[in-house]
Amino acid sequence: MYKQTGKYGPIVKWVGGKRQLLPSLLAHVPKRIATYVEPFAGGAALFFELCNRQERNEGTFERAILCDQNDDLLACYRAVQRDPSSLIDALAIYHYDSDLFYEVRAQKTQGWSDVARGARFIFLNRTCFNGLWRVNSKGEFNVPFGRYKNPRIVDEKRLRAASEALARVELRTGDFDDAVKGLTKNDFVYLDPPYVPVSTTSNFTAYAKEGFGPKDQRRLLALMHRLSKGCVPFMLSNADTEETRGLYREFTIRGASASRLVNADGTKRGLVRELIVLPRAPRKKTAATQQAFDWEHE
Ligand SMILES: C[S@@+](CC[C@H](N)C(=O)[O-])C[C@H]1O[C@@H](n2cnc3c(N)ncnc32)[C@H](O)[C@@H]1O
């Protein structure tokens, strides 16, 4: 089990969260980054770990962009970033109770402040089954109540630390493609999309009502080619399958093990191999491409 190495860590439980993979991922992240970008932020485990690394003076990034399609998640991050005290106060109305859970789950949040949405989001995330955030075709959260001994709904220390970490972050709700405009070789992009299904029983892509299908995987592939061409360093993680090895064959592929909690059926969870995909090595080394790829071999 990987333990976070400092005061910064994810504030939500997230399917596909990258805690277990952090040591393998960190090995490929350059020490000096101008803009660090996570277009599929989710729980942003790597971002928070980079903040810990920075605290220890083991690497720096000047600013960051965290983007995700899930605006409930982003509303929560905005509240943590701008007004952690009000968010902590707003969380005081919640407690672990199944009637309250279903009442809150049914609420419509149009017109709510980020603080109210953020508190509702944290409550549902902490008390729902497996910390899943899954929505139906109308975009409504539909995960059942989860059975826990004594779930912690408010973790004030963690929320205040996250607020500090998010201070120099640009938060964006939207598609991954819009988060990576105008980047250069001094920046770094970590792509952690919903997984290509490992099997028919361990498919989870319903983070948003649009899902993430083969067309999105192809758009992502096109983006990786654009980043490569522009010498923008990046790293992608995905399940290690025949399909993903084929999909990313033109890039540098490294394998890593991680335990993943994707399968709703607890008995089928196990150690799933993951792929780490890096830019392809340049054919002809020019000064610019050499610089962009040096980090990979540090
Ligand atoms: C595997 S999870 C990321 C996990 C994250 N790295 C962590 O540590 O928790 C994938 C994320 O992509 C988001 N997502 C799905 N489709 C998207 C899209 N088209 N654009 C941006 N984000 C998207 C989901 O909401 C989900 O949070």
Element (H, E) at 65: strand 60-68
- So where are the chain's domains? 19-69+174-297, 75-157
Please tell me the predicted confidence (pLDDT) of residue 172: 98
Ligand 1 atom nearest to CA at 195:
1
CATH architecture of 75-157: Orthogonal Bundle (1.10)
CA pair distance 45, 50, nearest whole angstrom: 9
Please tell me the predicted confidence (pLDDT) of residue 259: 57
Element (H, E) at 233: none
Residue 261 scores a pLDDT above 60: no
Question: Quick one: 269 exposed, middle or buried, by C-beta within 10 A (0-12, 13-18, 19+)?
Answer: middle
More confident residue, 198 or 61: 61
Query: Is any atom of ligand 1 closer than 6 Å to the C-beta of 101?
Result: no
Residue 297 scores a pLDDT above 50: no
Q: Could you tell me the distance, in angstroms and rounded to a whole number, from the CA of residue 251 to the centre of ligand 1?
A: 21
Average pLDDT, the chain: 88
Atom 20 of ligand 1 has which residue's CA nearest to it? 175
More confident residue, 67 or 264: 67
Q: CATH number of 19-69+174-297: 3.40.1800.10, 3.40.50.150, 3.40.50.1000, 3.30.930.10?
A: 3.40.50.150
Q: Do domains 19-69+174-297 and 75-157 have the same CATH topology?
A: no
Query: Is any atom of ligand 1 closer than 6 Å to the C-beta of 45?
Result: yes
Pairing of strands 252-259, 271-278: antiparallel
Query: Is any atom of ligand 1 closer than 6 Å to the C-beta of 9?
Result: no
Whole-number Cα distances in Å, 259 to 14, 101, 121, 206, 256? 14, 29, 25, 20, 10
Please tell me the predicted confidence (pLDDT) of residue 3: 74
Atom 23 of ligand 1 has which residue's CA nearest to it? 69
Please tell me the predicted confidence (pLDDT) of residue 280: 85
Q: What is the pLDDT of residues 66-115, one digit of tens each?
A: 999 999 999 999 999 999 999 999 999 999 999 999 999 999 999 999 99
Candidate from 18-22, 26-30, 246-250 with smallest mean pLDDT: 18-22
More confident residue, 89 or 280: 89
Q: Could you tell me the distance, in angstroms and rounded to a whole number, from the CA of residue 262 to the centre of ligand 1?
A: 13
Q: Could you tell me the distance, in angstroms and rounded to a whole number, from the CA of residue 1 to the centre of ligand 1?
A: 23
Q: In what order do the strands lie in the sheet with 60-68?
A: 169-173, 60-68, 32-38, 188-191, 234-239, 271-278, 252-259
Q: What is the pLDDT of residues 185-203, one digit of tens each?
A: 999 999 999 987 765 444 5
Query: Is any atom of ligand 1 closer than 6 Å to the C-beta of 77?
Result: no
Q: What percent of the chain has pLDDT over 90?
A: 71
Which residues lie across from 278 on neighbouring strands?
Answer: 252
> What does the block give as tokens for 278?
């890096």
Among 36, 130, 207, 209, residue to substitute to test ligand 1 (most atoms within 8 Å of Cβ): 207
Which residues lie across from 181 on neighbouring strands?
Answer: none
